[in-house]
Structure 1
Amino acid sequence: MGRVVVGAGLIVALLLASPGLAAEPVDAARSVIGRQIEAFLNDDAATAYSFASPQIKGLFPSQALFFEMVKRGYRPVYRPGNFAFGRSKIEGSTVVQEVLISGPDGKDWTALYSLTLQPDGSYKINGVQMLQQAPGPEI
């Protein structure tokens, strides 16, 4: 978690679109991500933390620690200018979701979210890998 990799080419290798994806897990994953980003925008640590997987909660055993980690290491997720969902992939009980983010500094990022299916049927965020995008041509 927290590793930044520069380059858009890596995304193609990691995340291939699959036309036959079941919509339900992808829709659930997108809902969780959107609700967590909304919680970050509202400085609602309790709600943001509620979407973290048990594994993440084991690494950050309090809402305060989790929230501080996100503020410091995931600024584009904490304060996105804009965001949109990209491609998604289902691997067993895991959904990998691409989120295209314009950070607060105007730089473009791709966040690769990994969500795992929980025993209660919900999806929880189990990690986010941030990929900084190369600047595009000026328009």
Structure 2
Amino acid sequence: MPPKDEKQILRVVRSQLDAFAHGDAAKAFSYAAPNIRRQVGTAEQFMEMVRTQYEVVYRPASATFLRPSGQAGEAVLHVQLTDEDGDLWTAVYTLQKQKNKSWRITGCALSPNAVTMV
């Protein structure tokens, strides 16, 4: 994957997390791919879904980004998240390069890790 794409992918996910942190539903929703936007409906519904179903994504205590991987306009990015209780989670983001060359998030799978930070 070209370094330019890696940087753009990291920027998209970081920017969405930042938008969540600032309560900016419209901005957070803007990083979602068309499939997610159609499925969820509105920016407010998107924010509510993330807040209730992906709490650690909505307000992580910390986030560590691994190097994205992928090919042919598809990418995967693993992000290690820590929640407010110190529990570790892995968020696996999938992204797709759009016709306008921007990257957008097509999904996020969240799973708890067995290790707890002390």
Query: What's the TM-score once normalised by structure 2's chain length?
Result: 0.94
Q: Percent same amino acid among aligned pairs?
A: 31
RMSD over equivalenced CA pairs, Å: 1.3
User: What is the SS of the residue equivalent to 1:121?
Assistant: coil
Contact 1:75-1:104 at 8 Å conserved across structures: no
Letter in 2 for 1:45: A
Q: Distance in 2 between matches of 1:124 and 1:72?
A: 22
1:118 pairs, out of 68, 74, 98, with 98
- Counterpart of 2:114 in structure 1: which amino acid? A
Verify: 1:135 aligned to 2:83, yes or no: no
Equivalent residue runs for 1:79-98 within 5 Å: 79-98=59-78
The residue identity in structure 2 corresponding to 1:57 is: R
1:77 paired to 2:83:
no
Moved over 2 A (4+): none
Determine if contact 2:92/2:108 at 8 Å carries over to the other structure: yes
Aligned to 1:14: none
Q: How does 1:1-139 map to 2 (within 5 A)?
A: 21-136=1-116
Q: Where does structure 1 lack aligned partners over 5 or more consecutive residues?
A: 1-20
TM-score normalised by the chain length of structure 1: 0.80
For residue 100 of structure 2, what is the amino acid of its counterpart?
A: D
Q: Partners in 1 of 2:55 and 2:80 — Cα distance?
A: 14
Instruction: Report the Cα distance in structure 1 between the residues aligned to 2:50 and 2:33, rounded to whole angstroms.
Output: 15
Equivalent residue of 1:128, what SS?
Answer: strand
The number of residue pairs the alignment matches comes to 118
